[in-house]
Structure 1
Amino acid sequence: MAVQTADEARSQRRRDNLAARAGANALWGAILWTLFVGVQHMGWLVRPWELPLAPDWVEMLFLFAPLVIVPLGLRAIALHSSMEPPEPLTWAGALCLPCAIPLLIAYSAQKSDMAMFFTLPWLFLCSLLALSALMRFKARGLRPLHELGFDVALAYIVIGAGWCSIARLGLRPLDFSEMIVQLTAVHFHFAGFALPIIAACLFGRAPGRVGAINVLGVIAGVPLLAMGISSKVQAVETVTALVLALICVSVAALTLGQCARGPARAGTRVLFAITGLSLLVSMGLAGAYAVGNLLEATWKLDIPTMATWHGTLNAFGFALCGLLALTRPDTK
């Protein structure tokens, strides 16, 4: 058994502390999210299948990210990274839940200056994550590739936090609809944060050419899709959406591969299976949406339908199950 140096032991302790704090925040965040949704929609316990059809479901999905997905993502980084967490990342692990709770107030109030004010703690926390990404990158450079994937996730999320503030203020940049503004915040919390972390963890566990292409593809594909939508040129939006969808299909294939050759525990294999299948179905919906809009087909999916099914699959089937699988003891 290799003997750790003092520096290695300190680094391990800091990673362990970050993982423990982030895991506790995710647990309490899940409880708070469930209570908040229960108060907003009293009948969901009786008819839970109707919840994704609620008009404010996109906002509920967004809140699931700061309260649950982000702390779980930080735990995954702590468990799968070999780098010592910089101070801003350590602070973020402790402050994640306190900075996310004001978002519940922001989304309970009407869009206004006051609602935007309650998003600022989350914007501050995501700024800490972006700063930690810069510090990690400066200390290490472009390699290893899975560490770069973690850096990108920590950096992208501040864009989502900025769009969250814009959404609660009621602004509509580039004449986007209010729904698109909110969905942009959702995009950078799930596709911009959870997706790079999961792709990077899979590559770190089983390095290979396909895994490397996945990580690089996700790094480029997430902002590429955002720029495609911003262009307001349907052909450009369709191409960028299909590119990211194809990359995600490859990530899903590697995830499903973990079921056969990865962890020993059946529960972890089930989580990986749900993760991969959810991503495949949600990307199928994304591809159908993009192509349907380009062709102006009668069967094309509308944005509320996409938000209901694509968003729900990505939030719970992919992001939640994927991060839970990657933070179990047999996948460290």
Structure 2
Amino acid sequence: MILLVHAVVSLGMLIVVPLGLTLLPTRTTSTRWWFAFAVPGAVSLWLPRGAVSITLASVYFAGTVVLIALAARHFLSHRALQTRQIALYTALVTPSIAALALVAERSSYELFGFNLTVLSLTVAHFHFAGFAAALMAYLSADGLAAVSVPLGTGLVLLGFFLGDPVELAGAVVLTAGMWLVGWSLWRRSRRADRSTAILLVVSGSVLVVTMLLAVSWALGHVVDTPYLPLEWMVATHGVANAVGFALCGVLAMRREEAG
């Protein structure tokens, strides 16, 4: 299971995040700088835990701090916080949460008492339910979706500390937001060329199932209802969100921007 998690995270670091950064108003003249941080981060996943992997993971963490700086610069230059900007700043901040968890996991340190498996899953979660979800909310939606996705992501994070009921509330809010994003993607597909439309439909459609799985998982930890084992959640919810939603979504948006 962990190998699959590492593969999904590598996809996020090396493909989804850099593609997504090219679609944001905070982009610099080039996003090549990102790979100077992302490649060491991805390599750290596949090395044994220890000094080398900790160092490489720390390099990646430094890169995510640059994203926070870009968000701060954008905010200071506009001096306003509109609805869509909440999603924008969420997309730029959440990779740092993933990177912090990565440094701790590579250090064999149970950050805030979370075991290493949970930390590994946190790395994946905040690349996709964090960066990718907020990115797509910013690019494709407005109003309620642009707010509910960051709110749901934040509640899920709080649920790690405050308990399963809070995490369930976050999963419900995030699911509502993601379904709104999915609906926006379906509507957008009607105006797109055939290849882009297929990518948009796939990106929006997988959310119907993957977010139901997320809610069933969270609900099953609050009341006695069935939910998939962790290994199956990674193989279904995790992979489908990473490839079907995030990758197809950013590829579609790139095609739209390219004209």
Q: Structure 1 pair 150/109, CA: closer, same or farther in 2 (3 Å)?
A: same
Query: Are the structure 2 counterparts of residues 115 and 92 from structure 1 closer, same or farther at C-alpha, using a change threshold of 3 Å?
Result: farther
Name the CA shift for 1:331/1:165 in 2 (closer, same or farther; >3 Å): same
| Aligned with residue 17 of structure 2, among 70, 77, 80 | 70
Based on CA coordinates, which of the two structures has the bigger radius of gyration?
A: 1
1:276 maps onto 2:207 in alignment:
no
The one-letter amino acid of 2:10's match is: L
Query: Aligned partners of 2:161 and 2:235: how far apart in 1?
Result: 22
The number of equivalent residue pairs is 259
Q: How does 1:178-327 map to 2 (within 5 A)?
A: 178-203=116-141, 211-231=142-162, 233-260=163-190, 262-263=191-192, 265-297=193-225, 299-327=226-254
Q: CA deviation at 1:286?
A: 0.6
* Residue pair 1:163, 1:185 contacting (<8 A) in 2 also: yes
Q: Show the counterpart of 1:115.
A: 53
Amino acid at match of 1:250: L
Residues 1:130 and 2:60 are matched in the alignment:
no
Instruction: Return closer, same or farther for 1:242/1:146 CA change in 2, 3 Å cut-off.
Output: closer
Contact 2:13 2:42 in 1 (8 A): no
User: Alpha-carbon deviation of 1:276?
Assistant: 0.6
**Counterpart Cα distance in 1 of 2:41 and 2:29:** 19
Give the letter for the 2:154 counterpart: P
Matched, 1:61 2:8: yes
Matched residue type, 1:223 = G
Question: Which amino acid counterpart does residue 101 of structure 2 have in structure 1?
Answer: W
Q: Which whole-Å deviations, capped at 9, do the CAs of 1:158-207 have from their partners, x for residues lacking one?
A: 1211111111111112322211111111121111111111111113xxxx
Q: Tell me if the contact between 1:142 and 1:148 (Cα under 8 Å) persists in the aligned partners.
A: no
Preserved contact between residue 149 and residue 173 of structure 2 (Cα < 8 Å): no
The structural deviation recorded for 1:148 is 4.1
* Paired AA for residue 136 in structure 1: H
Matches of 2:167 and 2:84, distance apart in 1: 28
Inter-partner Cα distance in structure 1 for 2:134 and 2:35: 22
Identity of matched residues, %: 25
- 8 Å CA contact 1:116–1:165 kept in 2: the answer is yes
Report the residue type matching 1:248 in the other structure: M
Residues 160, 189 of structure 1: 8 Å contact kept: yes
The CA distance in 1 between the partners of 2:30 and 2:258, in whole Å, is 24
Q: Which runs of 5+ in 1 are unaligned?
A: 1-53, 204-210
- Identify which range, 114-123 or 139-148, moves more after superposition: 139-148
Moved over 6 A (4+): none
- In 2, distance between residues paired with 1:104 and 1:228? 27
CA drift of 1:225 comes to 0.6
Query: Deviation per CA, 1:82-130, whole angstroms, max 9, x where unpaired?
Result: xxx4xxx528712112222222431222222321111122111111111
Report the Cα distance in structure 1 between the residues aligned to 2:79 and 2:212, rounded to whole angstroms.
35
User: What secondary structure does 1:190 align onto?
Assistant: helix
Q: Specify the SS of the correspondent of 1:295.
A: coil
8 Å CA contact 2:58, 2:103 repeated in 1: yes
- Structure 2 unaligned runs (5+)? none
8 Å CA contact 1:133–1:152 kept in 2: the answer is: no
8 A Cα contact 2:167 2:218, kept in partner: yes
